[in-house]
Amino acid sequence: MNIDRSVKAYFIASLPPLFWSGNFLISRVLRDDVPPLQMSFWRWVCAFIILLFICLPKIKQHKDKIKQELKFLVLLGLLGVTSYNCLIYSAMHYTTVTNASIINSAMPVVTFLFVV
């Protein structure tokens, strides 16, 4: 039974990197057919629908706190998520998936260097 849980945990842990890397590939394939803003919109609509079912109990549990912080959460979503994805999708018009992935992987180091 422990092995099954272990395999399941590794499988679930491998999904985010696969989704992130797939994001670059899909954006490169769709770059000529779908504008960056539209790509970002549909990506997050799909993610919202999936996560809504997973997170709905916690959302209901913390609805008062969410309402209290809603403006801040929307601001974070617009600046941190929406702008980032629009910039990535725009960049995919000018570079390769490999370059975009390398630059994206370097972001934690670059962020640290800006802070220090």
Pull the structure tokens for residue 46: 């799909």
Which residues have a Cβ under 8 Å from the Cβ of 16 and sit 6 or more positions away? none
Contact 91, 100 (CB under 8 A): yes
- Give the pLDDT score at 64: 94
Half-sphere exposure of 103 (CA within 13 A, CB side): 12
Task: Kindly list the averaged pLDDT for each block of 10 residues, start to end, along the chain of length 116.
Answer: 80 86 85 88 89 91 94 89 85 87 86 88
Contact 64, 113 (CB under 8 A): no
- Give the pLDDT score at 71: 94
- Give the pLDDT score at 16: 85
Residue 107 CB neighbours (<10 A)? 10
- Give the pLDDT score at 27: 86
Pull the structure tokens for residue 48: 């919202």
- Give the pLDDT score at 1: 54
